[in-house]
Chain A
Amino acid sequence: TQLLEQSPQFLSIQEGENLTVYCNSSSVFSSLQWYRQEPGEGPVLLVTVVTGGEVKKLKRLTFQFGDARKDSSLHITAAQPGDTGLYLCAGAWPGNTGKLIFGQGTTLQVKP
Chain B
Amino acid sequence: GAVVSQHPSWVICKSGTSVKIECRSLDFQATTMFWYRQFPKQSLMLMATSNEGSKATYEQGVEKDKFLINHASLTLSTLTVTSAHPEDSSFYICSARRTVTVAYEQYFGPGTRLTVT
Contacts and interface: CB of A to CB of B under 8 A. Distances in A.
Contacts, number: 65
B38 to A, nearest CB: 9
Contacts of B49: 97, 99
Interface string A23-48: 00000001101010000111111001
A50 B105 CA distance: 11
Interface in A72-112: 86, 88, 90, 92, 97-100, 102-105, 107
Interface in A49-88: 50, 86, 88
Interface residues of A, number: 25
A42 B111 contact: yes
A92 B41 CA distance: 23
Given A33-B105, A42-B93, A45-B107, A102 B113 contact: no
